[in-house]
Amino acid sequence: MNSHWPALLWSAIIVTLLCIPGSSEPESSSLFSIPHIDKYIHFILFALFVIFWGRAISNKPKALFRKKLVWITLAGIFLGYILELVQKHFIPYRSYDGWDVVADAAGAILGLLISLKISAQK
């Protein structure tokens, strides 16, 4: 039986990280001064989101696994979009960025492809 705890923990980490208030100060000497680093972070966060949830359901029959994995991927994309809206309306010094949603979606799709590849090797 696969545990859902890693996937639940990773989901909580994503929500926590994306709801941290921003800074009114420009990021000049930090990791975030690297151009577009936040897009890479979004991409990785959501790829791992799908991979962890895929691992949590990997004991399902193959057809059911694939169907659920597609729904998990769509849920990840939806989560990314909702968190961008939360940032815009409720998190100080954070804003909505459509390119973050694109990075979230691309990461989730990569997570889907990796999870399908891993399940095919079993």
Q: What is the DSSP string of 38-52?
A: HHHHHHHHHHHHHHH
Amino acid at 113: L
Please give the structure tokens belonging to residue 12: 């909580």
21-43: b (≥16 Cβ within 10 Å) or e: eeeeeeeeeeeeeeeeebbebbb
Read off the pTM: 0.92
List the pLDDT tens digit at each of the 122 positions of the chain: 579 999 999 999 999 999 999 886 666 656 667 889 999 999 999 999 999 999 999 999 999 999 999 999 999 999 999 999 999 999 999 999 999 999 999 999 999 999 999 999 87
